[in-house]
Structure 1
């Protein structure tokens, strides 16, 4: 099987995580690193043995050698431009979450991605927790109807980010480049899991607040109630102001059973999932120190298989668009102090609303 050349755009923390995952994959090779600061790219290249070529722009990397796949790990507000450039060059695409900060841009890009998929390109959005064995097993149980009709869910992310985190880069905590705070940046994985397990939302009612950080534009606390097309109701809680930081918890309830994911592990499921979840992925088992890289590696496994077989990847651009629209719905509702229709947000009816963080 051929080895695929990968260009990573953005050589910061997330780019380095992708580089480590790619280095572990037998079918992938980090061929190029792109960063607006060449010294940052060169430092990451040195950790990889000095093999990747370093470039200031994606255009340079694409012109210098054949690139099969581009992984975009820039600040969120720069995702779509690089993604469009990738597809024009005929390379496969993996975009870090969220798809972008601007729903209108993401909506337009989704059409570009659909056309690229029709030409045989694979276009994925990072949501590595969909590939956690526990999450995959619960998702399968939902699809098979083993939990009955899903009636409700409670999802909580009580995380902590100190002030130094936001002070570490001037783009952090901004609407333009972060796209939001606890929901858009950290909580996007939970949003995606909710969509995977409960389907399409109908209505969102939310409040946001900035409770314990300074010098940022976005929220560090959000609470929302969401009504889904199925009739299920869910509560979403996301914060970066819960010292010292506790694990994510997702509880899913149906007419024939319930499941609880705690810290990405299976804490409870009735009816039992038997051996669908390995013991090391069940609650209480020690979590591997390299779990963050392992999650991305699982998504790269899925992406390579999609490229080989021509099937869609496990998380497509349209999935990323729905997740971004749900995040936007939270912010629009909080700004307007009333429930909003998810479909109208998705279709652009609220594109002219300038979202704000409520004090």
Structure 2
């Protein structure tokens, strides 16, 4: 049997669109057909870059019979609006992170894809990295024991020029938030995927170094997980020049630290046994993790994770199974982030789940 080839359209031709285009171009059962952007110039630029049709008319792209799957790469606050239109046109939907910036919008998109019988996935490509997969396996296999502490630290840097580069950047309506919603959503997702549901949040946010933005460039939250563990979620775009992001998970059986997508520490009791009474503090001569360009340059992140996730999505469509990351999966980190914002705004601890009205 000949494998089906899926035609792709990309809506939104900004910084993230090339990641989708390159990922699609490397899959044997996918081809990029057309791109669209309501601003003609970026549409023309990406069309020429990838040798495909381009248009400023989103509905024209959605009407094309040779487009089976649409990647939504518009500003975050428009994800659901465009995704719902794509679903109504019978297209399978891939949405860049986050799923949207409110729970109401996320729920509308999830419902639209379900009602129109099309697939939905939201990009969280870091889940597919080898180190993250190994950590997930250690947890699932019980080697980390009972989880007690989990931290995600994203200390990145974005210049004032970054925020000034688009009218939507740094706005509540279209960016949905600042360092945590935009840059920190991936590691928020990883943290809750490893540690389990977040039950309570207490947070503080600040706009420390940037001007002309409505949102935070620093967010710090203490989390209580449903399983009894605690942790810290920290995100910033104010840390010059940008440091490697970290995910740290500790259980009664050991500790794993992932830095910039690489396994920095993996210390397991079932391999090394108990320490002395005063522990065994690790030295500082550990090999440095490979630097992730995303800490200081969003265009420097590779597209391999996108390729793996899109390949999984196409296989899910073909076989009728759910994709590895569903709309419901993507809703969870959004809810945590919104709880952080509410806690910081109201100066109190916030419990989850949230009512949609707090978005």
TM-score above 0.5, yes or no: yes
Equivalent residue in structure 1 for 2:346, among 325, 336, 341: 336
CA contact (8 A) 1:113 1:317 kept: no
Query: What does residue 256 of structure 2 align with?
Result: 259
Give SS of 1:64's match. Answer: coil
Is the CA contact 2:260–2:291 (under 8 Å) kept in the aligned structure 1? no
Deviation of 1:256 after TM superposition, in Å, equals 1.1
Give the equivalent residue in structure 1 for 2:75.
Answer: 75
Deviation (angstroms), 1:111: 2.8
Aligned equivalent of 2:189, options 186, 192, 195: 192
Structure 2 match to 1:298: 308
Corresponding position of 2:22:
20
Task: Report Cα offsets for 1:304-331 as digits up to 9, x if no partner.
Answer: 2212222111111001111111110000
Partner of 1:46: 48
| 2:201 paired with 1:239 | no
Unaligned 5+ runs, structure 1: 275-281, 352-359
Say if 2:88 and 2:112, in contact at 8 Å, map to a contact too: no
Aligned pairs (5 A) from 1:307-326: 307-326=317-336
Q: Which moved more, 1:205-214 or 1:14-23?
A: 14-23
Q: Are the counterparts in 1 of residues 264 and 289 from structure 2 also a CA contact under 8 Å?
A: no
Is 1:202 the counterpart of 2:199? The answer is yes
**CA distance 1:111–1:285, shift in 2 (3 Å):** same
Aligned-partner Cα distance in 2 for 1:96–1:207? 27
Q: TM-score, normalised by structure 2?
A: 0.89
Structure 1 length normalisation: TM-score? Answer: 0.89
The 1:65–1:114 alpha-carbon spacing in structure 2 relative to 1, beyond 3 Å, is closer
Provide the C-alpha distance between the structure 2 equivalents of 1:46 and 1:267, rounded to a whole number of angstroms.
Answer: 41
Mapped partners of 2:114, 2:148: distance in 1 = 32
CA distance change for structure 1 residues 287 and 295 in 2, over 3 Å: closer, same or farther? farther
- Would you identify which runs of 4 or more consecutive aligned residues in structure 1 move more than 4 Å? 282-291
Deviations 1:106-132 (A, max 9, x none): 12333333444xx3x321000010111
Q: Is 1:163 matched up with 2:165?
A: no
Work out the CA distance in 1 between the residues paired with 2:39 and 2:187: 32
Q: Which of 150, 174, 177 is the matching residue for 1:177? A: 174
1:81 Cα offset (Å): 1.0
RMSD: 2.0
How many residues in Structure 1 have an aligned counterpart in Structure 2? 337
**In 2, Cα distance between the equivalents of 1:234 and 1:57?**
45
Distance change (3 Å), C-alpha of 1:283 and 1:91? farther
> Using the alignment, how far apart are the partners of 2:219 and 2:105 within structure 1?
24
